[in-house]
Amino acid sequence: MGSLFTTADGAELTGLTAGEVFLDFVAGTVTAPNGTVTNMNKNLNDLGLNQCNSIGVWTSDADSVVHIGSALSLSDHQLSHVLNNIGFSSVRITIPSNSTPADSNQIFFQASTDGWLGYSFPEISHQRSEVSSTSTDTNTTILSKHVGAYNQFLITTHNTGGSNSIDLQIELYDSGHDCSARL
């Protein structure tokens, strides 16, 4: 059985802005778009190896592009990808600027030195985050996510303003430009 790679604490990376996320399996580090470095649970150097052979990646934006090594780029409007039997030592994830708040993007990854990862990642968006804002007598975008509509998207609202009413409009976009439904 090969070695599994993920973040040091096994958690997803949250609070990411648009830009490039670099996964360096040789050094065992993840560099976020803002320059923050997070350690992985292990690295290829300590194992005396030079490549991983399978990976699963989930991103919170369906327009993210996953670059595996220098040979393969995945830009197929999916939230997750699992690749087996492909050698690589680095991965670059391009996060687009589709989200409001801008720092609400998330990714999760798991890689292995085995050729078969043995895990499947579901095509859903599950984000654990809270967004709060106030607006008085104006239309304001408080939350905007591009999830590709692969499953359900649940939004919970909470009125903390002291009144007994809240006006809320949720717009769904099929094409990214034209509103197809208002709830």
pLDDT for res 158 = 67
CB count within 10 Å of CB 68 equals: 21
173 or 40, which is more confident: 40
- First vs last C-alpha separation in the chain: 49
Residues of the chain with pLDDT > 70, as a percent, come to 64
Q: Domains in the chain, please, with CATH?
A: 4-112 (2.60.120)
Distance (Å, whole) CA 104 – CA 101: 6
Peptide bond into 96 cis (omega under 30): no
pLDDT for res 126 = 54
Q: 132 pLDDT exceeds 80?
A: no
pTM attached to this predicted model: 0.75
Q: 24 pLDDT exceeds 90?
A: yes
For 116-156, strand residue ranges (E) read none
pLDDT for res 172 = 61
CA distance to 12, 20, 108, 143, per residue, from 126 (Å): 11, 21, 11, 14
Helix (H) or strand (E) holding 5: strand 4-5
pLDDT band at 72 (very low <50, low <70, confident <90, very high): confident
The mean predicted confidence, pLDDT, of the chain is 81
Instruction: Report pLDDT digits (tens) over 81-97.
Output: 889 999 999 999 999 88
CA distance to 70, 79, 81, 147, 156, per residue, from 108 (Å): 20, 10, 11, 15, 23
Instruction: Report pLDDT digits (tens) over 151-171.
Output: 556 666 766 666 766 666 666
pLDDT for res 92 = 96
CB count within 10 Å of CB 72 equals: 12
pLDDT for res 63 = 84
Longest dimension (CA), the chain: 63
Distance (Å, whole) CA 114 – CA 53: 6
36: Cα separation from own chain's centroid? 16
Instruction: Report pLDDT digits (tens) over 27-63.
Output: 999 999 999 999 999 999 999 999 999 999 988 887 8
pLDDT for res 182 = 52
